[in-house]
Structure 1
Amino acid sequence: MGEATGMDRYTAPAESVRTRRREGPVGLSDCVREFLRQPSPPYLLGAVLLVLALRIAQGNWSWRDAVIALGLVAATPFVEWAIHVYLLHSPPMQLRGRRVEMLTAREHRAHHEAPGVLSGVLLPVYGVVVFLAMIALVNWLLSFPIALLLGGPRLAYATTGVLVSYAILAAYEWTHFLIHAPYKPRRRYFKAIWR
């Protein structure tokens, strides 16, 4: 949709987000619609809804679900840092005399080179699918020691962990998209923390 221009190279140009109005600033609802038009959010949001339905069907809600959710929220900054450092910023390697680079690192570097291009802000579909599978596997594996520690239904814990982790990833993607979108907050609180 075009590259960022002007003094702020981190923000996409206003014309990169389709609006319902002919004039005026880009609204939050415009950004939501543009976010949902991107290739990966439907996969991510579909996964959140599917796991939410599964968790509701399982029942057995307890205080332990809140403990799991709080633990995942507390771990998120460290997990995000590790992913950023070791996956997204991994340096190229030499393998049999050839330079080999992880696709994720190459794509992330392209985002740093052109941060105002909205099409490069979100995870690609393959990345979302891989992350969803990894998140499910890690939460399933963690459910064994958590069930030993807390007692109760292990499968429900795994599902709660997957649900919260998927929701965190969805919130991260939305926030990252909004940071680079040409949206300017209107409320005083958000204006104060914006940029």
Structure 2
Amino acid sequence: MSAPRADDRRMPGAEETARRNPMRPPDTLPRDRSSAVRAFCAHTSPQLIAGLVLAFGLWRLALGGWSWIDAAIALAILAYFPVNEWLIHVFMLHWKPRKLFGRTIDFYLPKTHRRHHADPWNLHWVFVPRHVHLWVAPTIAVLLALLWPWKAWVLTAVTTYLLLGLHYEWVHFLAHIPWCPQNRVLGPYYQRRVREHRYHHFRNENYWWGVSMGLGDRLFGTAPKVDETARSGSTVDLGIRP
């Protein structure tokens, strides 16, 4: 059975899904830790990312020669990642179709994200689309080819980035199911990330762009107090109407 496509007209439209999507996820989605982990691991994107983390991580371990530079690279990527999330969400996922010489310029990635906003409790649209993964291996291969003398550091960077990407997928998944970790250490963090992402979906899509991290929103002033933020009225169709 083929996967649904974001531009498939047979899929439910924004107005239809708006009528049946309350802020609370439906009970048919995972409601406990074990079912949440099983559902997460069953999806292609986490499987692919985890496989790459394992492969490149083992390669880096095999090379050895660890130094303070590896730690600096990992910390730099960790510091940049919330900005990376913010930029991708604002400028790529929320891209609006533009007219150029009478032709509409649009891309499949933002189309999938619009479908995600229109159908937020459909887990198919929660994860990084498969076509994006087609670019991952070639991009890493090019980086390694260009920087082969420093391949150990490249592998440190790639493994760190992919590990953070896997964590992004996990947090985004949590925001779209009823269950969320409740332990004293990580529970409050994940609960806040889930809460703010739902504000983005159900209050105002122009704020709370961060998913796994909120620092980007704090840096760019897009994490207002929710009770002082008006409902946009376009969280479902992102203001793009036929």
Query: What CA deviation, in whole Å up to 9, does each residue of 1:46-93 have, x standing for no partner?
Result: 111000111011111111111000000111111111111221111212
| Separation in 1, partners of 2:84, 2:45 | 21
Which of 107, 110, 117 is the aligned partner of 1:105?
110
C-alpha spacing 1:69/1:61, structure 2 compared with 1 (3 Å): same
Between the two proteins, what is the percent identity of the paired residues? 36
SS at 1:47 equivalent: helix
| Separation in 2, partners of 1:83, 1:136 | 22
Deviation at 1:174? 0.9
Which of 12, 27, 34 is the aligned partner of 1:14?
27
AA in 2 matched with 1:86: F
1:23-172 to 2 correspondences below 5 Å: 26-131=31-136, 133-134=138-139, 137=142, 154-172=150-168
Query: What CA deviation, in whole Å up to 9, does each residue of 1:109-140 have, x standing for no partner?
Result: 11112222211100122213324544665687
Deviation at 1:95? 4.0
C-alpha spacing 1:117/1:125, structure 2 compared with 1 (3 Å): same
| Separation in 1, partners of 2:44, 2:190 | 29
Q: Of the two structures, which has the highest relative contact order with CA contacts closer than 8 Å and spacing of 6 or more?
A: 1
Asked if the contact 2:49/2:166 (under 8 Å) is kept, the reply is yes
SS at 2:121 equivalent: coil
Asked if the contact 1:45/1:170 (under 8 Å) is kept, the reply is yes
Asked if the contact 1:35/1:174 (under 8 Å) is kept, the reply is yes
Q: Could you say which residue in structure 1 is the equivalent of 2:169?
A: 173
Gaps of 5+ in 2: 1-16, 196-242
Q: Could you say which residue in structure 2 is the equivalent of 1:148?
A: none
Q: How many residues align?
A: 175
Asked if the contact 1:51/1:163 (under 8 Å) is kept, the reply is yes
Query: What CA deviation, in whole Å up to 9, does each residue of 1:91-115 have, x standing for no partner?
Result: 2122442223111111111111222
Q: TM-score, normalised by structure 1?
A: 0.77
Gaps of 5+ in 1: 18-25, 145-152
SS at 2:28 equivalent: helix
SS at 2:175 equivalent: helix
Deviating above 4 A after TM superposition, structure 1's stretches of 4 or more consecutive aligned residues are 3-6, 135-141
As a proportion of its length, which structure holds more helix?
A: 1
Aligned-CA RMSD value: 2.7
| Separation in 2, partners of 1:138, 1:64 | 18
